[in-house]
Structures are given as structure tokens and as C-alpha cells.
Amino acid sequence: MDIIVSPTPVLNGEIQALSSKNYTTRYLLVAALAEGTSTIYYPAHSEDSDAMRRCIRDLGAVISEDDEKIVITGFGRSPRDVKELNVGNAGAVLRFLMAVTALCKDVTFVNTYPDSLGKRPHDDLITALGQLGVEVEHQNGRLPIRIKGGEPKGGKIKVSGAVSSQYLSALLFLTPLLEEDSEIEVLDDLKSKVVVGQTLEVLEQAGIVIHASEDYMHFTVPGRQSYQAKTYTVQGDYPGSAAVLAAAAVTKSDVAIHRLTENSKQGERAIVDVLRMMDVPLTHENDIVRVQGNGKLKAVEFDGDTATDAVLAMVAAAVFAEGTSRFYNVENLRYKECDRITDYLTELRKAGANVEERQSEIIVHGRPEGVEGGVEINAHYDHRVIMALSIVGLRSKQPIRIKDAHHVAKSYPQFFDHMALLGASVEWTEN
């Protein structure tokens, strides 16, 4: 399905934030790794969180669900010996489960998105699992991937964090269950470091003890631990909400999003600070972010690695700012659902934006007068590209058509319903 986004000068209204994708995938996993019965209130419903549900069920978790909660009886340290797992297009789900299935005998992760997840690299995690004696068959570091696990013991592990933090998070979920204590050293650099804070927070809630150095480059993990069955509540999702807030910032608006925790560990809460730096009128009180946009924005400079999943929305807002904005330290955007620098900027340019790329930077020369639009956008299978181009469409002179916009459901299936509710002119159409 395609979506047509037409010029929309005004947005008004209130919505509840969608539930956090990153917390949902993590709570589902720690519930599956516990032996008792856990309850998760307000889990996200999206393709990625459904992928984790499906895979933990295949691995032996027993699940029941109603409108507000999911109840999971886990398989502890003994997942069922499945033959195949399908994670859809979910990178984090794949990486976390590549580590956990080291406890299985022989599992193959199939390749159902050859042009998206199928192109993403997993070499650094494969190397780290090799240090635990886990044999991995792969296609040049990519899917399909076959894990021949069995009985990894723990010990010393080195893992690079230069491409993704998900490899480290994956090892942090696995190692507490192993026979021996583990020491994990992060090599090179650690990208998306803030997300590791979310992993550690959830592990602690699940009763797991991990000793982390302050810079998250070194970890001591006692072995023979057990995940405890607990009750969890998922907070609102900043990365998805960032797109709605950026849309409000580029229009004349009065938009409020509820359920956005002020002291959240989600780095993407920086959308609030970045819009403030851009002179967008907003408040953040009682977990409600309210933007009263006047359409005027000022350029900004920002270290994007601290808020990786909100950068595309920030860039879309900067397209309409006065002056030149710079988003730096964002190289790992190249290893996401698409190359979120080259592919994204190609689509922005099509719509009429004035943008430049460096290996690890996005530079935006703002066009407060608006952009031309009137084009067809390739979504590159990327939910965040779809949301970001929708923001641009609101302030284009001619409507833009985003091809295959249904991929927005990877993280935020109700995005266009929320936008329509706020008054955006958006219309689904067959492709």
C-alpha cells in the first residue's frame, strides 16, 4: 500500500504514545528466559514486537494476551529445539535471539527480507559467539544464519560495538545463564550506548546481576543466574513519537502526546531538547509533551548517536529550519533497515530538500519557504524513512506519494491513524 501525504498547514489534538518497541522486545525476552509466569502491561503491537512474540513462542514460551497485558510462562535456560525461526525485519530481535539460541542445538534464522535485514551485517556477534564455542554458519555475516549451540560455558568475550550496540545487548542476555562467569570487553567503540542502559535496566528488573564499568566498555557477568518472573509496565515510545512531534514542529499546531516519561532511559527523548534548541514552543510536564508550533524553526547541531532512532525525524524538521543544521556521529545509520544516510537523503532530495552527506554526518540547508514535493518516494522497507518523509510532505507544495508505506508497521502501525486524527491529510491507496 502507498500513502499520499498532502500539504497540511495545521495539526491539532492529543494522542497516547505508542508503547516502546525496545522495552517490549526486552520484557518479552526476559519473561521467556524466566521459569515462572511474568506479566507485561501495555506491550507494543507492531511487526517487530510480534516477531519476538512469535519466536519466543516457537522456543517454548506459553503466552496469553488481552487488550492491556500479555502473560508469559517462560522456558528458562531450556528453550525448545526448534529448527527455524523467522524474525521478519527486526534487527534487535534477530541479534538477541542469535545469542539466546546458543542454548539450542541447531536453529536456522531464515531470510524473509533479503533487501533489508538480509543486507545487514552480524559479523561482530558471530565472532563473539565463536569465542563461546558456538558454531555459526552464515552468508558473509548475513542471513540465513544457522546457530549450532548446545552448551556454551561462558568465559572471556570480546565484542566490537562499532556497528551496533545490539551485539553487546545480546551477550548480556545470554551470559547470566551460562555455567561459568563471563567477562565482556567491548572493542573499538560503542555506538548507541544509551540503548545498553535500557538492556541493563531490564536485566536488573528481571533479577539479574551484572557489573558494568561506567563507560559500558567492560562487564563482569556472574554465571548460573536465573531470570525471575516479574510484572512489567511498558513506557511510551520516544522514537515513534519523535516523528509526530517533529510533524507538529513544522506546522502551526497544538499537539499533545501523553505517556512520555520525563526521566526515561530512551535516548530519543532528546527530541524534546532538540526541538527546544530549534526554538519550537513546547512543554514537557506530567509525562505529556505539548508542541504549539508556529512553523518557524532554527537550525541545530546535534550528536545523533545519543538518539539514533529519532535522527531521521529531527532531520525532517531541519529541512524547514532557518540556516544549516548538522547531525554528526551518525555513521551507524548506514546499517539499519536501509542506508539511512545515502538512501534517506536521496528521497529527501527528490522531495526538494537541500541536504548533503558525509560518511558519518547529515547536513541540512534549511528551506523555510517549503519544498516542492509532487514526487514518488521509495520507502526502502524503512518505517523511519516513511515517517520522516510524511513530515516533509506536510509542508510540500504538491502532495507526495510514499510507496509501500505499509512498512511503517515495523514499529508504529497506527502512525497514519494518529496523523489523520491530528488533522494531517493522509490517504492510503493501492500500489
Ligand X SMILES: O=C(O)C1=C[C@@H](OP(=O)(O)O)[C@@H](O)[C@H](O)C1
Ligand Y SMILES: C=C(OP(=O)(O)O)C(=O)O
Residues serving a catalytic function are 309
Least gap, CB of 149 to ligand X (angstroms): 21
Determine the 3-state secondary structure of 197 from DSSP. Answer: helix
Whether 359 contacts 327, CB under 8 Å: no
Q: Is 54 annotated as a binding residue?
A: no
Angle at 107 between CA 103 and CA 109, to 5 degrees: 120
Of 22 and 73, nearer to ligand X (C-beta) is 22
- The count of residues in the chain is 431
Q: Is 323 annotated as a binding residue?
A: no
For position 174 contacting ligand X by CB under 6 A, the verdict is no
Instruction: Give the whole-angstrom CA distance, residue 134 versus residue 335.
Output: 24
- In terms of Cβ atoms closer than 10 Å to its own Cβ (0-12, 13-18, 19+), residue 139 is exposed
For position 191 contacting ligand Y by CB under 6 A, the verdict is no
Instruction: Give the whole-angstrom CA distance, residue 378 versus residue 400.
Output: 11
Least gap, CB of 411 to ligand Y (angstroms): 5
Q: Report the site for ligand Y in 383-412 (rule: CB under 6 A).
A: 384, 411
Which does residue 90 bind out of ligand Y, ligand X, none, counting CB within 5 to 8 angstroms by kind?
ligand Y
Nearest to 16 by CA among 249, 354, 259: 259
Q: Which of 46, 116, 266, 308 binds ligand X (CB under 6 A)?
A: 308
Amino acid at 58: D
Q: Report the site for ligand X in 8-47 (rule: CB under 6 A).
A: 22, 25
Least gap, CB of 189 to ligand X (angstroms): 12
Q: Which of 122, 191, 336, 407 binds ligand Y (CB under 6 A)?
A: 336
Site string for ligand X, 321-350 (x = CB under 6 A): -----------x------------------
Q: Is 336 annotated as a binding residue?
A: yes
Phi, psi of 403 (to 5 degrees): -70, 145
For position 309 contacting ligand Y by CB under 6 A, the verdict is yes
Q: Which of 169, 235, 325, 396 binds ligand X (CB under 6 A)?
A: 169
3-state helix, strand, coil in the chain (%, to 5): 35, 30, 35
Give strand pairing partners of 2: 429
**E strand or H helix at 288, and its extent?**
strand 288-291
Q: Determine the interface stretch with ligand Y among 68-76, 89-97, 364-372, 373-381 (rule: CB under 6 A).
A: 89-97
Whether 358 contacts 382, CB under 8 Å: no
For the residues of 233-274, what is the DSSP string, one character each? EPPBPHHHHHHHHHHHHTSEEEEEEE---TT-S-GGGHHHHH
Q: Which of 191, 230, 350, 407 binds ligand X (CB under 6 A)?
A: 191
Least gap, CB of 196 to ligand X (angstroms): 8
Nearest to 102 by CA among 135, 73, 76, 74: 135
Amino acid at 109: F
For position 116 contacting ligand X by CB under 6 A, the verdict is no
Cell 513546547 found at: 282
For position 166 contacting ligand X by CB under 6 A, the verdict is yes
Of 120 and 395, nearer to ligand Y (C-beta) is 120
Of 19 and 332, nearer to ligand X (C-beta) is 332
Q: Which residues bind ligand X (CB under 6 A)?
A: 22, 25, 92, 164-166, 169, 191-192, 195, 308-309, 332
Binding residues for phosphoenolpyruvate: 21, 91, 120, 166, 340, 384, 410
Binding residues: 21, 26, 91, 120, 164-166, 192, 309, 332, 336, 340, 384, 410
Q: Which residues bind ligand Y (CB under 6 A)?
A: 90-92, 309, 336-337, 384, 411
